[in-house]
Structure 1
């Protein structure tokens, strides 16, 4: 029996192929950066033919966008610890852990520097934020039901307040980002929420206009 001389080994179809290609895309991004990312290298690393990749993604930009969105959505779990402070702490610490990992750093570099000019990447950033907001909203809903937060607390404003100091350090100041950063973000966010600064805008409310 002759062995297959091809370096490409089939990995299956459907979801399995998609997962393999996504993983290969992130690995290539980590190893070589956005500028050197190619569909051919991704396909070889994933163990599929490049025609298989092109059947699902029209170019490297759409492939990268899909892989980034999937990675960012799946990498941050939705906590349910029974309390708003511990929920937010788990959420913020997960965010910090994700973005300070080697893969997280590569993802940030692609989304905010190397490929930041692409409309597809701008759309991916919006998709990632919307997805994270949708996943974090139950944290606020449960806190309201437990009486820990006011009923008009705006989940979007709370989430923005929570992540803002983390992103500031990651993208602007290059200050250290660790669990202390996450915990401080939680304290500030809860203080703002309990002071009524993160409520939903209503018709006629100055905050709405």
Structure 2
């Protein structure tokens, strides 16, 4: 049932954004009762965040390469592919809507879900000595992923491999243990 609900949320988000992701629409699309959604999720934001984190995090670090640089490049390529997909603009619009409520923890919940998915990559890099033990994982990932969001949604430029390579090179120069002056 969880996968059907997630799939329904993603389809609805692409088709109509946040307004389309009502419990009534999600339940109908997923073929479940609304009461099932209410028992499982406290509100529609939680349902939306769960679906987006699951969809955009599919196998995000499934194949660790033995190199933080290669792993980060792979993660950023997968993010770029997601942002270039029909889901990308929907996620951007939903993220903007999340920010509209200054009292909500939803944006933090989304980012925490993403950071949990990336933890194996960071743990492996620290264990190999690629990153220092006290690395600020959020700062590093924000420095790496932020340019993709900006380039895609603000400057409307392509998310090509050359751009991703430059980001990875700069992030590794700033954060990797072997690259620090």
Q: 1:22 deviation in Å?
A: 1.7
Of 85, 91, 94, the residue aligned with 1:107 is: 91
Bigger proportion of residues as helix: 2
Q: Which residue of 2 aligns with 1:20?
A: 4
Instruction: Go from structure 1 to structure 2 and tell me whether the alpha carbon gap of 1:72 and 1:42 turns closer, same or farther (over 3 Å shift).
Output: same
Q: Are 2:67 and 1:83 equivalent residues in the alignment?
A: yes
The alignment yields a C-alpha RMSD, in angstroms, of 2.8
Q: Give the whole-Å Cα distance in 1 for the aligned partners of 2:163 and 2:40.
A: 39
Of 133, 145, 153, the residue aligned with 2:115 is: 133
Of 29, 36, 52, the residue aligned with 1:68 is: 52
Q: Give the whole-Å Cα distance in 1 for the aligned partners of 2:123 and 2:45.
A: 36
Q: Give the whole-Å Cα distance in 2 for the aligned partners of 1:99 and 1:172.
A: 13
Give the secondary-structure state (helix, strand or coil) at the position aligned to 1:35.
Answer: helix
Q: Give the whole-Å Cα distance in 1 for the aligned partners of 2:82 and 2:41.
A: 26
Q: Which moved more, 1:168-177 or 1:140-149?
A: 140-149
Q: Are 2:81 and 1:97 equivalent residues in the alignment?
A: yes
Aligned residues: 179
Q: Give the whole-Å Cα distance in 2 for the aligned partners of 1:60 and 1:133.
A: 22
Q: Could you state the TM-score of these two structures normalised by the residue count of structure 2? A: 0.79
Q: Could you state the TM-score of these two structures normalised by the residue count of structure 1? A: 0.70
Q: Give the whole-Å Cα distance in 2 for the aligned partners of 1:147 and 1:153.
A: 11
Q: Which residue of 1 aligns with 2:162?
A: 180
Of 136, 139, 157, the residue aligned with 1:157 is: 139
Q: Deviations over 1:80-134 (max 9, x none)?
A: 101122111111111111221112331222122x4542468x5232123223333
Q: Give the whole-Å Cα distance in 1 for the aligned partners of 2:37 and 2:123.
A: 40
Structure exhibiting the larger radius of gyration computed from Cα positions: 1
Q: Give the whole-Å Cα distance in 2 for the aligned partners of 1:155 and 1:89.
A: 16
Q: Are 2:17 and 1:33 equivalent residues in the alignment?
A: yes
Unaligned 5+ segments in structure 2 are none
Q: Give the whole-Å Cα distance in 1 for the aligned partners of 2:128 and 2:91.
A: 36
Structure number with greater CO (CA < 8 Å, separation at least 6) is: 2
Q: Which residue of 1 aligns with 2:152?
A: 170
Q: Which moved more, 1:145-154 or 1:128-137?
A: 145-154
Instruction: Go from structure 1 to structure 2 and tell me whether the alpha carbon gap of 1:123 and 1:171 turns closer, same or farther (over 3 Å shift).
Output: farther
